Structure 1
Amino acid sequence: MSNDIINPDLVPQRILRGGDKMPAIGMGTFGSDRFSAEDIAAAVKGAAEVGFRLFDCAAVYGNEHLIGEVFEDIMKSGIKREELFITSKVWNDMHGKGDVMLSCAKTLKDLRLDYIDLYFVHWPFRNFHPKGAPPDYHNKDARPFSIEQYMETWYQMERLQKAGYVKHIGASNMTIPKLKELIKYATIMPSAIEMELHPCFQQPELFKFVLDHGIQPIGFCPIGSPTRPDRDKTSEDYIDIEDPVIVEIAKAHNVHPAVICIKWAVQRGQTPIPFSIYRNEYASNLRCAVEDPLTEEEMKKIEGVDKNCRLIKGQVFLWEGAKDWTDLWDVNGEITK
């Protein structure tokens, strides 16, 4: 047996609504426009070999058809479907009446699955950004958040869960004001939320809010996403893995600073979904969850490095008349109209 393999039974588990378990760390599959679908599918295969069981997918990533072939091979190799935890997401252009059902059906076909463990509304907007369009492109039909439109989408998500096509439903890229509206009208509560979480962007208020409401946070960009698309980079961004506190703790543990970011995430209670196509990196990511935990003092030190630095700003989804990307995130404490 290769020495980079981790027994999946050793990976901590999160308990979702109804008692279902989800691994406390997963494998992301968004290639940030820098890696091919073939590269990512190969990484999923390798990640399953080293012990990953949670894989975070999405229709818009354009690689689910190849990842589905890998899932089929994985299950033929002896890993049972119930040992895997697969997530996916409905994209912004499929929020209309009946479209969510169609989107889920295509994802199930592409991933070669009978059900999805957790299905998300990817963004709370119907604003579509064409592939290849410049970052400052504004869709003339883009509109601010509408709870009426969002609930039309959410009720279709609820139908999917009731029909057994998905086991759990979740939200993504939300704010406290938007979640309050969702909770007010939902008949099935979200089991999880995907949100940007890393040491320089800890979102403590939202993090506490979702935990208080029984919603499991899944954190993307757990190491600060150094390979994120160029459109999402600004000169004001902090680099988590270069933060002096992170670097100091990494030296004490004799590991790369990225490892510390992931350890912190797992121990804090969120589920990080780091991405890499390199076996040594994703094997190391998984090992973070089971070996050499951070001390309480180290966790406290990392809590102090928060810079409130959002990296994935979503500015490509802005509507005409919006001030800037902060309008997407309700920075004044109420939904921006």
Structure 2
Amino acid sequence: MPAIGLGTFGSDHVSNETVAEAVKSAIDIGYRHIDCASVYGNEAEIGAALRDVMDSGKVDRKELWITSKLWNDKHVEEDVVASCKQTLADLQLDYLDLYLVHWPFPNFHAKGCDVSSRSPDARPYIHENFMRTWRQMEKLVELGLARSIGTSNMTQAKLELVLRDAAIKPAVNEMELHPHFQQPELFDYVVSQGIQPVGFCPIGSPARPERDKTSEDTVDTEDPVLCEIAEKHGIHPATLCVKWAEQRGQIPIPFSTNPRNMRANLESLTTPKLSDSEMEALSKIDKNCRLIKGQVFLWKDGQTWEDLWDLDGKIAQ
């Protein structure tokens, strides 16, 4: 799995066509890892871009690592394989390198509603139900539709149950990871279990949906420690976040449509490593500041998915 990828969650503030062009630019620059999801609504455009670059001879399919994700309204057993096949059709691929369960909570939107709408039918994690979904994820590997499977936005308590009961353990847990939200306990647990952590929002997420913004949020790239270390290395603080992530052992998947920024993020992985003292200083700026709060996904009594994450001790069984 390449050490850095291009995230493609950007259709809420740029067009699908712009994201597709970003994928082409990233591959031209040297990226080989593209992180997608059906809910982003842009897989058809990304598929056309991938087809263009492969048909041009710039890159072979075997050189690419393509990830996608099962959305929350497709957790029902009979929907998993069909959803993956739809993603493959949209991406114009025969197989995925990695397919993730996007969130551990099923969420069934009312007919005609999109992901930005508040749903009255978000449901908490129930392990027995999740494992029914996971058995179908394992079937994708058996069918050759996905070479690896994994989880996303999972807590340790949930992962412990999945690892106990899974025939194929998750290869990856994708989660929000940046210097102001380092999740050290979950990170260390994932690594200890031989699961690769993949970090989204590695430079924070200033362009995230308004629904996820609150007055308490901070922007990582304004942190004085980040700025001081970045200046010492002659790189932008955002680029330092990507470099820190890779050196820590997680795979960052920053989203950008700017070729200059893409190149800077990629090249940061080849520049001299941060010193132990610099890594230690960065470990101390963790503010436990989650940026992607899932406020749009409401459960009963106005609870959000972030509230549901805290119920692990009650629902784990």
Structure 2: where are the runs of 5+ without partners? none
Instruction: State the secondary structure of the residue aligned to 1:98.
Output: helix
CA-to-partner distance for each residue in 1:148-180, whole Å, 9 max, x for gaps?
211111110000011111000000011011111
Q: Is the 8 A contact 1:318 1:328 kept in 2?
A: no
Q: Which amino acid aligns with 2:240?
A: I
Say yes or no: does 1:296 pair with 2:256: no
Q: Is the 8 A contact 1:314 1:328 kept in 2?
A: no
Say yes or no: does 1:59 pair with 2:42: no
1:23 is matched with 2
Q: Is the 8 A contact 2:70 2:83 kept in 1?
A: yes
1:114–1:212: structure 2 CA closer, same or farther, 3 Å change rule?
A: same
| More displaced stretch, 245-254 vs 196-205 | 245-254
| More displaced stretch, 142-151 vs 159-168 | 142-151
Q: In 1, distance between residues paired with 2:291 and 2:161?
A: 25
1:26–1:334: structure 2 CA closer, same or farther, 3 Å change rule?
A: farther
Q: Which amino acid aligns with 2:22?
A: A
2:196 is matched with 216
Q: In 2, distance between residues paired with 1:132 and 1:105?
A: 21
2:53 is matched with 74
Alignment map for 1:165-176 (pairs within 5 Å): 165-176=145-156
1:243–1:222: structure 2 CA closer, same or farther, 3 Å change rule?
A: same
1:53–1:132: structure 2 CA closer, same or farther, 3 Å change rule?
A: closer
Q: Is the 8 A contact 2:39 2:115 kept in 1?
A: no
| More displaced stretch, 317-326 vs 144-153 | 317-326
Q: Which residue among 114, 118, 135 is the counterpart of 1:131?
A: 114
Q: Is the 8 A contact 2:72 2:103 kept in 1?
A: yes
Q: In 2, distance between residues paired with 1:215 and 1:132?
A: 29
- 1:330: Cα distance to partner? 2.0
Say yes or no: does 1:181 pair with 2:161: yes
Say yes or no: does 1:311 pair with 2:301: no
Q: Which amino acid aligns with 2:203?
A: I
So what's the TM-score if we normalise by structure 2?
0.94
1:132–1:192: structure 2 CA closer, same or farther, 3 Å change rule?
A: closer
Alignment map for 1:94-109 (pairs within 5 Å): 94-109=74-89
Q: Which amino acid aligns with 1:303?
A: S
Alignment map for 1:1-337 (pairs within 5 Å): 22-31=1-10, 33-78=12-57, 79-128=59-108, 130-131=113-114, 133=116, 137=118, 139-321=119-301, 323-330=303-310, 335=315
CA-to-partner distance for each residue in 1:275-309, whole Å, 9 max, x for gaps?
01111111111111112321221111101100011
- 1:324: Cα distance to partner? 4.7
Structure 1: where are the runs of 5+ without partners? 1-21
Instruction: State the secondary structure of the residue aligned to 2:97.
Output: strand
Q: Cα RMSD (Å) of the superposition?
A: 1.7
Instruction: State the secondary structure of the residue aligned to 2:147.
Output: strand
1:12 is matched with none
Q: Is the 8 A contact 1:330 1:336 kept in 2?
A: no
CA-to-partner distance for each residue in 1:238-294, whole Å, 9 max, x for gaps?
211001100111111122110110000000000000001111111111111112321
1:156–1:332: structure 2 CA closer, same or farther, 3 Å change rule?
A: closer
Q: Which amino acid aligns with 1:201?
A: F
Q: In 1, distance between residues paired with 2:35 and 2:145?
A: 17
